[in-house]
Amino acid sequence: MRAPMLREVLRRLEKAYGWPPNAEEFTAMLAKAKGLGPLGTLIAIVLTQNTNDKNANVALERLYEISDGLSRKKLLAMSIEEIANAIRVSGMQRQKARTIKAIVQGFDETTLMSEDPETLAKKLLSTPGIGPKTADVFLLMVRGYPTFPIDTHCRRVLTRLGFIRRGEKYEAIREAVIKELGRDREALLKLHTLLITHGRRICTARKPRCGECPLSDICPKVGVDEG
């Protein structure tokens, strides 16, 4: 079976899960909904690295409380230890604290919003602890720049759908998705969040529930043991 068209995948997932998603399930969206601004939202995205959004939300709340609402001035004055203690629940707290410190030292609200997206992407990627996924989530969700962030759920579902090969490079996946969907910001954002929701609820890492999946009849189920 050939890989299905992403537009069809998107149509079916949107029908199954609805749109927009509950902001509580996506820390970056929650940060935006709470009016945190670009700096606060970028910090929120860093907090989601290697953890679930529930833990990231708790860490964000704690950091918010002790930093005068994620004030840049306050965060600049805080030590790595103070930041790490506040965000401990999200894991890798020292590394994330160092990244947060580097962010407030290197960026402010104005540069994050006014810098040309390509230049900003390069600057973000040269910041310790910021990789392509974190940069892409920020560019797509905050700047509205048409890119495609790939997390573990997106990668797994796209692999099982036969859209990408196992172990495909991040940049190659992003390019392939954009090639098919075009620079359609809304479609890219929807596909990103809906693949995550699908990976959390149905196409889970272990024992995906193919029998309940709205994509079952068009999915080649690459690498899935249906026994």
What whole-number distance in Å separates Cα of residue 185 and Cα of residue 187? Answer: 6
Q: Which is nearer to ligand SF4, 21 or 129 (CB)?
A: 21
Residues 193 and 19: their CA atoms lie apart, in Å, by: 9
Q: Does 6 bind ligand SF4 (CB under 6 A)?
A: no
Part of the chain binding ligand SF4 (CB under 6 A), chosen from 56-64, 162-170, 185-193, 214-222: 214-222
Contact letters for ligand SF4, residues 184-203 (x by CB under 6 A): ------------------xx
What radius of gyration do the chain's Cα atoms show? Answer: 18
Q: Looking at beta carbons only, is 59 or 157 nearer to ligand SF4?
A: 157
CA atoms within 13 A on the CB side of 1: 15
Is 215 among the residues that bind ligand SF4 (CB under 6 A)? Answer: yes
**Alpha-carbon distance 154 to 189, whole Å?**
12
Query: Segment near ligand SF4 (CB under 6 A), from 46-54, 60-68, 139-147, 154-162?
Result: 154-162
Question: Of the candidates 106, 147, 208, 227, which one interacts with ligand SF4 according to CB under 6 A?
Answer: 208
* Residue 157 in contact with ligand SF4, rule: CB under 6 A: yes
* Burial annotation 171-204 (CB, 10 A radius, 16+ → b, else e): eebbebbbeebeeebebbbbbbbbbbbbbeebbe
Rounded to a whole number of angstroms, the minimum distance from the CB of residue 22 to ligand SF4 is 21
Cα 120 from Cα 38, distance rounded (Å): 13
Q: What whole-number distance in Å separates Cα of residue 138 and Cα of residue 159?
A: 24
In the complex with ligand SF4, the residue whose CB is nearer, 64 or 163, is 163
Binding site for ligand SF4 (CB under 6 A): 157, 160-161, 202-203, 208-210, 213, 215-216, 219, 221, 224
